[in-house]
Amino acid sequence: MTAPAATAFDPALPWQKATSVALRPEPFGALVYHFGNRKLSFLKSKLLVTVVTSLADHPSAEATLVACGVPEAQRPAYGKALADLARSQMIEVRP
């Protein structure tokens, strides 16, 4: 059985933390583990942890960044971090 292909990140779509992903808070941010593909990632800021855990509460990734108070100048960096998480299947498009 093969793992589902990662979806290209589109910040206008509704996203969520993948259902097979566990997030463990740490002083630096969080560890993120995918039980399906066994990948481990690090979220290196508490604000990024807030963004990832809040994705399901907003209509799009863009709206999540705004709602979480990510400064406009930092949004491209957060968008890149979310794209990396989508590529590694840590976040997924909500159905």
Residues in the chain, pLDDT under 70:
1-7
Write phi, then psi, for 16 (nearest 5 degrees).
Answer: -155, 160
Q: Give the three-class secondary structure for 24.
A: strand
Q: Specify the number of domains making up the chain.
A: 1
Kindly state whether residue 87 falls inside one of the protein's structural domains.
yes
**25 and 39 Cβ atoms separated by less than 8 Å:** no
CATH code where residue 45 lies: 3.90.930
pLDDT tens string 64-74: 999 999 999 99
Report pLDDT for 43: 97
Range of the domain at 30: 15-93
Entry pTM: 0.90
pLDDT tens string 3-13: 455 568 999 99
Nearest one of 6, 4, 15, 20 to 79, comparing CA atoms: 15
Report pLDDT for 6: 58
